[in-house]
Chains A and B, each alone.
Chain A
Amino acid sequence: MLKTFSIGGVHPQENKLSAHQSIIKAAIPPQVAILLSQHIGAPAKPLVAKGDTVKVGMKIAELGGFVSAAIHSSVSGKVLKIDNVIDASGYPKPAIIINVEGDEWEETIDRSDTLVKECKFSSEEIIKKLTDCGIVGMGGACFPTQVKLCPPPAFKAQCVIINGVECEPYLTADHQLMLEHAEEIMVGVSILMKAAKVNKAFIAIENNKPDAIELLKKTASSYPGIEVVPLKMKYPQGGEKQLIDAVTDRQVASGALPISVGVIVQNVGTTFAVYQAIQKNKPLFERVITITGNSLAKPSNLLARIGTPLRQLVDACGGLPDDTGKVISGGPMMGKALINLDVPMTKGSSGLLIMNEEEAKRGEIHPCIRCAKCVDACSMGLEPYLLAQLAAHGEFERMEKERIMDCIECGCCQFTCPSNRPILDYCRLGKNKVGAMIRARKAKK
């Protein structure tokens, strides 16, 4: 019996169109826009100014706070300006715009493909290096990795879980990365274990990727302490709390961090980036992104530079189809709909999904028939129908009691609702308002 998380969950159609498409290097764009806020936390502070010359891998922005990440140039060329561009959030955000000239890399970066197994750094050195290289969680949330690896002193990590679940439909970037870079990922896991000072790591993979499970199991045999855990398919298995529940049978309490049960979760993409940062001196300036969609000519997995306009990546996959109705950055369950394709790629761009007009339009909304399917589907054990009702009526105090802040916005409730109700829209509104209320209360004290 395969493991999975215990509460709720849904089974969306997989639609992994780009599965087993090997990773292709995307062309370097003529201009990139590198956002200063690609991670959770304070935006980075730019280190360059208009007219400066930059090289690939050069640090162009430093940490803006404790929870923040450094940003590196993904191209070589001249800084055109620092200006606002519209990002995936739909609002203008500051970005460094660079005109590309050639492709000149920093000399410190090891560009060879040779596998470096031996890690000669200490735990502190690794963490410092990750900070310097601007490594963030690449599953989508973009939480700075060094912060995750330095838990508050009250907690002690017992194991690392590597998230290779990729439970979002359509996305295949992590899957392909595991297939092509199994050894590097294993070294990355060992480095993370060393940094977190633990000797146990689990690599969690859903059983819809049997080839990846098999390959990693084989590779893992020569690395001590690493165990591959196949999991039963269910969305949202890639959610941090759900994954910990599935792998270790421990549930993170409401409001607590995963470290409270002694677990640090890292994405496989992050693990690969960690390997490159520590062993190859290569900061995070490119990543694998899945470009996919039913109407797209060539769904592919591309290795692209951060800051590349998404339009160029779509063009590399056969161009934007005429009947496009929606473009989503990320997967269909949690991704963000974009207003156009000029949005630049960020460290958290795991995929780009093109939907045609028909797929894109939301269905007609009917009255709630109280079927309780949302309650069954909620992976956090909440009552989405009630939360949505309360939010629509502005009863935010009661929402707080009903634990709206536990909501992970996985979308299972809205996915499953036979009446097509925008449950999550209202839950988000409530979460936003209740969050503001809690912050205001804290500020008063």
Chain B
Amino acid sequence: MNLILIAVISLGAIALISALILFLASKKFAVFEDPRITEVAKVLPQANCGGCGYPGCSGFANACVKAGSLQGKYCTVGGQPVMTKVASILGLEVEEAEPTVAVVRCNGTCEHRPLVSRNDGTRSCAITSLLYGGETGCSYGCLGGGDCVNACQFDAIHMNPVTGLPEVDEDKCTSCGACVKACPRNIIEVRPKGKKSRRVYVSCVNKDRGPIAKKACEVSCIGCGKCVKVCPFGAITLENNLAYIDPNVCKSCRKCVDVCPQHAIVELNFPPHKPKIAVVEEVDSTKTIETPKAVEAVAVSVDSPKENNN
């Protein structure tokens, strides 16, 4: 009996003293944190993907609360609904941002790009790009090593074994930009999703002169400039033998698609093509079936060293 009593008393005393120490410590070392940070963090998706440019969701929440404005802050995973919630917690105005998606700008499938050598090294784009220009004649295009697939946290990008190119699953893609950073060739670009996921873009990043590019790949941009001429909105620029469609200017009229001799300009999720009707309204009114799963099968071959060196 005595024994039990001693045990109870001694343990109880230890517990009391420890509790006291903890209590005092928590008072003394308490750090004030804006309670709104926790609130904001709660509504964020907690994917910690870094797509917003901050280290994880709590970093983003912290930045939102401290900045006092939501200018330039956007959670790519949660999109507009989450940003609205964040804005309501903080009592701020939310910026209207168009949803974006990752786009693979290379269409150099096994059929389009004949192999000229066999890569026997480690299957990693980063390592292959140290080694040489790639297994095909195109030294700008997709290396097919799947670094983007490994970088994706959302299981939204996969290699297509038939084409050897990565494909973005639009429903899963949060446009966090991890694949863009992972690609040593800068083939993947984050572009506005477009109305009904309809997009037009140049699916090539080859900066070689026309004949060389053409020899390397059947669907390469040869820098002929036809698309630049035909574009009524001035959305297309030609630099280093490569056309680029500015998504903010492009009205998706698709004139460039028809005119491209190499079929390097790709249109996605549009209803079946009627070459003569090229007006946007016309297309919208047709109200065709929504593509259930917009899978993008595009692989690009491009390299822009400037962006590379970040």
Contacts and interface: CB of A to CB of B under 8 A. Distances in A.
Are both chains from one complex?
Answer: yes
Interface of A: 84, 86, 89-92, 326, 337, 339-340, 360-362, 422, 425-426, 428-429, 432-433, 436, 440
Contacts of B120: 326, 360-362
| Residue among B116, B120, B132, B139 with max Cβ neighbours from chain A (10 Å) | B132
5 smallest beta-carbon distances between A and B, as pairs: A90-B132, A339-B117, A425-B122, A422-B122, A90-B133
Interface string B108-120: 0000000011001
B117 A91 contact: no
Interface in B117-146: 117, 120-122, 124, 126-127, 130-134, 139
B127 A426 contact: yes
Most buried by B among A90, A326, A337: A90
Contact of A91 (B124, B126, B127, B133): B133
Contact of B132 (A91, A432, A436): A91
Given A339-B117, A361-B120, A422-B121, A89 B132 contact: yes
A428 B130 contact: yes
19 contacts: A84-B212, A86-B133, A90-B133, A91-B133, A92-B208, A337-B131, A339-B116, A339-B117, A339-B132, A339-B133, A340-B117, A361-B120, A425-B124, A426-B122, A426-B127, A428-B127, A428-B130, A432-B126, A440-B309
A388 to B, nearest CB: 10
A436 B131 CA distance: 17
Interface of B: 116-117, 120-122, 124, 126-127, 130-134, 139, 208, 212, 309
Contacts of B124: 425, 429
A102 B10 CA distance: 106
B139 A91 contact: yes
B132 A425 contact: no
Most buried by A among B122, B124, B134: B122
A2 B221 CA distance: 61
Contacts of B131: 90, 337
A432 B131 CA distance: 12
Contacts of A428: 127, 130
Contacts of A425: 121-122, 124, 127
Contact of B127 (A92, A337, A429, A440): A429
B121 A92 contact: no
A237 B175 CA distance: 50
A245 B248 CA distance: 61
A360 B132 CA distance: 17
Contacts of A440: 309
Given A86-B133, A425-B121, A429-B130, A436 B139 contact: no
Nearest to B303: A91
A422 B132 CA distance: 16
A90 B132 CA distance: 4
Contacts of A326: 120
A103 to B, nearest CB: 31
A431 to B, nearest CB: 9
A356 to B, nearest CB: 14
A428 B126 CA distance: 10
A428 B117 CA distance: 21
Given A89-B132, A436-B309, 8 more contacts: A86-B133, A90-B132, A92-B208, A337-B131, A339-B117, A362-B121, A429-B124, A432-B126
A311 to B, nearest CB: 15
A340 B116 contact: yes
A211 B122 CA distance: 41
A284 to B, nearest CB: 26
Contacts of B117: 339-340
B139 A92 contact: yes
Nearest to B151: A394
A179 B235 CA distance: 67
Contacts of A422: 121-122, 127
A393 to B, nearest CB: 11
Given A340-B116, A425-B127, A92 B122 contact: no
B262 to A, nearest CB: 19
Contacts of B126: 429, 432-433
Contacts of B132: 89-91, 337, 339
B138 to A, nearest CB: 10
B133 A432 contact: no
Contacts of B309: 436, 440
Nearest to A327: B117
A360 B120 CA distance: 9
A340 B127 CA distance: 20
A63 to B, nearest CB: 23
Nearest to B182: A394
A91 B126 CA distance: 15
A439 to B, nearest CB: 8
Contacts of A432: 126, 130
A60 to B, nearest CB: 22
A299 to B, nearest CB: 23
